[in-house]
A = this chain, B = another copy of it.
Amino acid sequence: MGTTQLETVPEPKYWHLRTVLSNALDSEFEVGEILPNERELAARFGVARATLRQALEQLELEGRLQRRRGVGTTVAPPRVGVEVNPTRHSWPGAPGDAWQTEGCAEDVPPAVVGRALGRGDEKVYTVHRVRTVHGQPVATELLYVPPASVPGLSGIAGLETDAGVARGRAVLRELQRLELGGQERTVELGSARAEDAKRLDRLPGAPVLVLTTRYLAAGGTAAVAVSTYRADTCRLTFGESAGTGLLAAG
Protein backbone atom coordinates (compact mmCIF):
# COMPACT_ATOMS: atom_id res chain seq x y z
CA MET A 1 0.00 0.00 0.00
CA GLY A 2 3.03 2.23 -0.24
CA THR A 3 4.27 4.94 2.05
CA THR A 4 2.28 7.62 0.35
CA GLN A 5 1.66 10.84 2.19
CA LEU A 6 -1.87 12.14 1.99
CA GLU A 7 -2.38 15.13 -0.23
CA THR A 8 -4.21 18.21 0.86
CA VAL A 9 -7.76 17.59 -0.32
CA PRO A 10 -11.07 19.15 0.58
CA GLU A 11 -12.31 15.86 1.98
CA PRO A 12 -11.58 14.64 5.51
CA LYS A 13 -8.31 12.79 5.96
CA TYR A 14 -9.98 9.76 7.45
CA TRP A 15 -12.26 9.46 4.45
CA HIS A 16 -9.45 9.72 1.97
CA LEU A 17 -7.51 7.23 4.07
CA ARG A 18 -10.47 4.86 3.97
CA THR A 19 -10.43 4.99 0.17
CA VAL A 20 -6.70 4.42 -0.05
CA LEU A 21 -6.87 1.48 2.35
CA SER A 22 -9.92 0.08 0.60
CA ASN A 23 -8.09 0.03 -2.72
CA ALA A 24 -5.06 -1.51 -1.08
CA LEU A 25 -7.25 -4.27 0.38
CA ASP A 26 -8.62 -5.03 -3.06
CA SER A 27 -5.28 -5.24 -4.77
CA GLU A 28 -2.61 -6.15 -2.27
CA PHE A 29 -4.13 -8.27 0.47
CA GLU A 30 -5.64 -11.70 0.84
CA VAL A 31 -8.53 -12.64 3.09
CA GLY A 32 -7.23 -13.40 6.56
CA GLU A 33 -4.00 -11.50 6.07
CA ILE A 34 -2.84 -9.37 9.01
CA LEU A 35 -2.36 -5.65 8.46
CA PRO A 36 0.47 -3.69 10.05
CA ASN A 37 -0.52 -2.46 13.50
CA GLU A 38 -2.30 0.84 14.01
CA ARG A 39 0.73 2.75 15.27
CA GLU A 40 2.76 1.77 12.28
CA LEU A 41 -0.02 2.46 9.78
CA ALA A 42 -0.60 5.88 11.32
CA ALA A 43 3.10 6.70 11.05
CA ARG A 44 3.24 5.42 7.52
CA PHE A 45 0.43 7.70 6.41
CA GLY A 46 1.56 10.62 8.54
CA VAL A 47 -1.60 10.92 10.63
CA ALA A 48 -2.48 10.58 14.28
CA ARG A 49 -3.54 7.17 15.43
CA ALA A 50 -7.06 8.40 16.16
CA THR A 51 -7.45 9.53 12.57
CA LEU A 52 -6.27 6.23 11.25
CA ARG A 53 -8.68 4.47 13.57
CA GLN A 54 -11.57 6.44 12.11
CA ALA A 55 -10.71 5.03 8.71
CA LEU A 56 -10.37 1.50 10.08
CA GLU A 57 -13.72 1.80 11.83
CA GLN A 58 -15.37 2.68 8.53
CA LEU A 59 -13.86 -0.34 6.85
CA GLU A 60 -14.84 -2.59 9.73
CA LEU A 61 -18.40 -1.25 9.50
CA GLU A 62 -18.40 -2.19 5.84
CA GLY A 63 -17.28 -5.69 6.66
CA ARG A 64 -13.89 -5.28 5.00
CA LEU A 65 -11.78 -5.61 8.15
CA GLN A 66 -11.89 -7.50 11.37
CA ARG A 67 -10.15 -6.15 14.45
CA ARG A 68 -9.42 -8.11 17.58
CA ARG A 69 -7.80 -6.71 20.67
CA GLY A 70 -4.55 -8.38 21.51
CA VAL A 71 -4.38 -9.94 18.07
CA GLY A 72 -4.46 -7.43 15.26
CA THR A 73 -6.40 -6.28 12.22
CA THR A 74 -7.15 -8.82 9.53
CA VAL A 75 -8.80 -8.73 6.14
CA ALA A 76 -12.35 -10.00 6.59
CA PRO A 77 -13.92 -12.62 4.36
CA PRO A 78 -16.99 -11.57 2.35
CA ARG A 79 -20.14 -11.30 4.41
CA VAL A 80 -22.13 -14.47 4.77
CA GLY A 81 -25.63 -14.46 3.36
CA VAL A 82 -28.07 -15.45 6.08
CA GLU A 83 -31.48 -16.71 5.01
CA VAL A 84 -34.39 -15.00 6.71
CA ASN A 85 -37.06 -16.07 4.28
CA PRO A 86 -40.33 -14.28 4.90
CA THR A 87 -42.29 -16.41 2.48
CA ARG A 88 -41.49 -19.75 4.02
CA HIS A 89 -44.39 -19.89 6.41
CA SER A 90 -43.15 -21.59 9.50
CA TRP A 91 -42.88 -20.96 13.20
CA PRO A 92 -39.56 -20.51 14.92
CA GLY A 93 -38.34 -23.86 16.08
CA ALA A 94 -39.79 -25.70 13.09
CA PRO A 95 -37.73 -28.67 11.94
CA GLY A 96 -34.64 -27.54 10.08
CA ASP A 97 -34.42 -23.99 11.32
CA ALA A 98 -30.97 -22.69 12.01
CA TRP A 99 -31.39 -21.75 15.65
CA GLN A 100 -30.34 -23.33 18.89
CA THR A 101 -32.42 -22.87 22.02
CA GLU A 102 -30.43 -21.61 24.98
CA GLY A 103 -33.00 -20.97 27.66
CA CYS A 104 -36.34 -19.60 28.64
CA ALA A 105 -37.58 -17.13 31.23
CA GLU A 106 -40.85 -15.48 32.15
CA ASP A 107 -40.53 -11.74 31.86
CA VAL A 108 -42.45 -8.61 31.12
CA PRO A 109 -41.43 -7.73 27.55
CA PRO A 110 -40.11 -4.33 26.47
CA ALA A 111 -42.85 -1.79 25.84
CA VAL A 112 -42.56 -1.94 22.06
CA VAL A 113 -42.92 -5.72 22.07
CA GLY A 114 -45.81 -5.59 24.52
CA ARG A 115 -47.59 -3.24 22.16
CA ALA A 116 -47.04 -5.52 19.17
CA LEU A 117 -48.40 -8.42 21.21
CA GLY A 118 -51.43 -6.35 22.03
CA ARG A 119 -51.22 -7.24 25.70
CA GLY A 120 -50.03 -4.53 28.03
CA ASP A 121 -47.30 -5.57 30.38
CA GLU A 122 -48.16 -9.11 31.27
CA LYS A 123 -45.44 -11.69 31.67
CA VAL A 124 -44.63 -13.78 28.61
CA TYR A 125 -42.37 -16.70 27.89
CA THR A 126 -39.05 -15.35 26.67
CA VAL A 127 -37.06 -17.91 24.74
CA HIS A 128 -33.36 -17.21 24.15
CA ARG A 129 -31.89 -18.62 20.98
CA VAL A 130 -28.61 -18.40 19.09
CA ARG A 131 -27.88 -18.84 15.42
CA THR A 132 -24.49 -20.02 14.23
CA VAL A 133 -22.95 -20.21 10.78
CA HIS A 134 -19.79 -22.23 10.26
CA GLY A 135 -19.59 -22.62 14.02
CA GLN A 136 -19.53 -18.86 14.62
CA PRO A 137 -22.46 -17.21 16.41
CA VAL A 138 -23.99 -14.63 14.06
CA ALA A 139 -27.23 -13.78 15.81
CA THR A 140 -29.07 -13.91 19.11
CA GLU A 141 -32.81 -13.86 19.47
CA LEU A 142 -35.41 -13.18 22.09
CA LEU A 143 -38.72 -14.80 21.23
CA TYR A 144 -41.68 -13.49 23.20
CA VAL A 145 -44.62 -15.87 23.47
CA PRO A 146 -47.72 -15.02 25.52
CA PRO A 147 -48.96 -17.98 27.58
CA ALA A 148 -52.24 -17.73 25.67
CA SER A 149 -50.45 -18.80 22.50
CA VAL A 150 -49.26 -22.04 24.07
CA PRO A 151 -52.18 -23.21 26.22
CA GLY A 152 -50.89 -26.76 26.27
CA LEU A 153 -47.83 -25.78 28.22
CA SER A 154 -49.28 -25.16 31.65
CA GLY A 155 -50.60 -28.68 31.74
CA ILE A 156 -47.23 -30.31 31.45
CA ALA A 157 -46.07 -31.34 34.88
CA GLY A 158 -42.67 -30.18 36.02
CA LEU A 159 -42.09 -27.65 33.29
CA GLU A 160 -43.34 -24.72 35.30
CA THR A 161 -40.25 -24.75 37.44
CA ASP A 162 -37.80 -25.46 34.67
CA ALA A 163 -36.20 -22.22 33.61
CA GLY A 164 -33.83 -23.70 31.08
CA VAL A 165 -33.45 -25.16 27.65
CA ALA A 166 -36.16 -27.78 28.12
CA ARG A 167 -38.86 -25.22 28.72
CA GLY A 168 -37.73 -23.19 25.73
CA ARG A 169 -38.05 -26.25 23.56
CA ALA A 170 -41.46 -26.99 24.99
CA VAL A 171 -42.67 -23.49 24.15
CA LEU A 172 -41.44 -23.84 20.58
CA ARG A 173 -43.03 -27.27 20.30
CA GLU A 174 -46.37 -25.95 21.42
CA LEU A 175 -46.16 -23.07 18.95
CA GLN A 176 -46.13 -25.48 16.01
CA ARG A 177 -49.68 -26.52 16.90
CA LEU A 178 -51.05 -23.13 15.88
CA GLU A 179 -51.82 -22.29 12.30
CA LEU A 180 -49.49 -19.55 11.12
CA GLY A 181 -51.53 -16.79 9.54
CA GLY A 182 -48.64 -14.73 8.26
CA GLN A 183 -45.75 -12.68 9.45
CA GLU A 184 -44.56 -9.13 9.33
CA ARG A 185 -40.95 -8.10 9.52
CA THR A 186 -38.81 -5.05 9.98
CA VAL A 187 -35.07 -4.54 9.75
CA GLU A 188 -33.26 -1.68 11.39
CA LEU A 189 -29.82 -0.74 12.64
CA GLY A 190 -29.07 -1.09 16.33
CA SER A 191 -26.16 -1.43 18.68
CA ALA A 192 -25.48 -4.60 20.60
CA ARG A 193 -26.50 -4.62 24.24
CA ALA A 194 -23.81 -5.85 26.60
CA GLU A 195 -25.31 -9.32 26.84
CA ASP A 196 -25.78 -9.77 23.09
CA ALA A 197 -22.33 -8.41 22.43
CA LYS A 198 -20.80 -11.08 24.61
CA ARG A 199 -22.64 -13.89 22.87
CA LEU A 200 -21.70 -12.49 19.47
CA ASP A 201 -18.07 -12.09 20.47
CA ARG A 202 -18.19 -8.32 19.97
CA LEU A 203 -17.81 -5.25 22.13
CA PRO A 204 -20.87 -3.52 23.57
CA GLY A 205 -22.29 -1.07 21.07
CA ALA A 206 -21.18 -3.02 18.04
CA PRO A 207 -23.49 -2.40 15.08
CA VAL A 208 -26.17 -5.02 14.60
CA LEU A 209 -29.09 -5.56 12.27
CA VAL A 210 -32.24 -5.97 14.30
CA LEU A 211 -34.85 -8.13 12.62
CA THR A 212 -38.22 -7.96 14.32
CA THR A 213 -40.81 -10.55 13.35
CA ARG A 214 -44.47 -10.52 14.28
CA TYR A 215 -46.07 -13.95 13.93
CA LEU A 216 -49.78 -13.86 13.21
CA ALA A 217 -52.34 -16.48 14.10
CA ALA A 218 -56.09 -16.45 14.58
CA GLY A 219 -56.30 -12.76 13.79
CA GLY A 220 -53.83 -11.71 16.45
CA THR A 221 -50.14 -11.64 17.26
CA ALA A 222 -49.12 -15.06 18.51
CA ALA A 223 -45.47 -14.21 19.12
CA VAL A 224 -42.79 -11.63 18.48
CA ALA A 225 -39.16 -12.38 17.78
CA VAL A 226 -36.35 -9.85 18.04
CA SER A 227 -33.27 -11.19 16.29
CA THR A 228 -29.93 -9.41 16.55
CA TYR A 229 -27.47 -10.12 13.73
CA ARG A 230 -23.83 -9.05 13.59
CA ALA A 231 -23.85 -6.28 11.02
CA ASP A 232 -20.17 -6.61 10.20
CA THR A 233 -20.31 -10.22 9.09
CA CYS A 234 -23.90 -10.78 7.97
CA ARG A 235 -25.97 -10.00 4.94
CA LEU A 236 -29.63 -10.83 5.43
CA THR A 237 -31.14 -12.54 2.42
CA PHE A 238 -34.83 -12.61 1.66
CA GLY A 239 -34.89 -15.32 -0.93
CA GLU A 240 -38.11 -15.86 -2.82
CA SER A 241 -37.24 -17.90 -5.85
CA ALA A 242 -36.35 -21.52 -5.35
CA GLY A 243 -33.20 -20.81 -7.32
CA THR A 244 -29.64 -20.76 -6.18
CA GLY A 245 -29.72 -17.19 -4.92
CA LEU A 246 -27.03 -15.27 -6.69
CA LEU A 247 -27.01 -12.49 -4.14
CA ALA A 248 -26.74 -14.92 -1.27
CA ALA A 249 -23.43 -16.30 -2.45
CA GLY A 250 -20.36 -14.11 -2.21
A interface residues with partner B (beta carbon < 8 Å): 11-12, 15, 18, 58, 61-63, 79, 81, 86-87, 115-116, 118, 181-191, 194, 204-205, 207, 209, 212, 214, 216, 221, 231-232, 234-241, 243, 245-248
Contact = CB atoms under 8 A, between A and B. Distances in A.
Contacts of A239: 184
B188 A246 contact: no
Given A87-B87, A221-B246, A232 B185 contact: no
Contact of A58 (B63, B183, B191): B191
Nearest to A216: B241
Given A205-B18, A221-B246, A61 B235 contact: no
A184 B241 contact: yes
A204 B11 contact: yes
B115 A182 contact: no
Given A58-B205, A207-B207, A246-B221, A238 B191 contact: no
A62 B191 CA distance: 7
A238 B86 contact: yes
Given A86-B240, A186-B235, A186-B238, 18 more contacts: A11-B194, A58-B205, A62-B190, A63-B188, A63-B189, A81-B186, A86-B238, A87-B87, A115-B246, A182-B240, A184-B240, A184-B245, A185-B247, A186-B237, A186-B248, A188-B235, A189-B207, A189-B232
11 contacts: A18-B205, A58-B191, A62-B190, A63-B189, A81-B186, A184-B241, A186-B237, A187-B236, A189-B207, A216-B241, A216-B243
Given A212-B247, A246-B116, A237 B185 contact: yes
Contacts of A11: 194, 204
Contacts of A238: 86, 184-187, 238
A231 to B, nearest CB: 4
A61 B189 contact: yes
Nearest to A79: B188
A186 B236 contact: yes
A189 B209 CA distance: 8
Those 9 A-B pairs whose CB atoms lie nearest each other, nearest first: A188-B235, A189-B231, A182-B241, A185-B238, A187-B236, A186-B247, A186-B237, A116-B246, A186-B235
A190 to B, nearest CB: 6
